[in-house]
Amino acid sequence: MKAHEAAEEQVVHPLAQAEGNADTVNELVDEEMTAAKVLEKLEGMDVDSAEFEQQFAELKRDVLSHARQEERDEHPRLLEDTAPEDLERRGKMFENAERDSSMR
């Protein structure tokens, strides 16, 4: 999840901002920062605890809602406003950024 979000920050969000979608990007980034904090908290918890189960369930719900928002508000606009060649290039950039982030 961390690698995916890092790739979005490097590739997707800057393009969305350049396309005039800054409000949506700002909201998504805020949600991603909150999720990262929760994930960090979960990493230090006992996975068998009730608190872990509750926090994990909330994180799962929030991440799924976040993904739906990206698919509804961010991605369609990028597909509509970005040349196919640029989308292809940025797709490769995204894959590389995600791979590089997961190696850290």
Do residues 77 and 21 make contact, with C-beta atoms less than 8 angstroms apart? yes
Choose among 24, 53, 47, 38: nearest CA to 8: 24
User: Where exactly are the structural domains of the chain?
Assistant: 2-102
| Per-residue pLDDT reduced to its tens digit, 25-78 | 999 999 999 999 999 999 999 999 999 999 999 999 999 999 999 999 999 999
| Matching residue, tokens 């961390």 | 2
Model confidence pLDDT, tens digit, residues 45-59 = 999 999 999 999 999
Burial tier of 11 (Cβ tally within 10 Å: 0-12, 13-18, 19+): buried
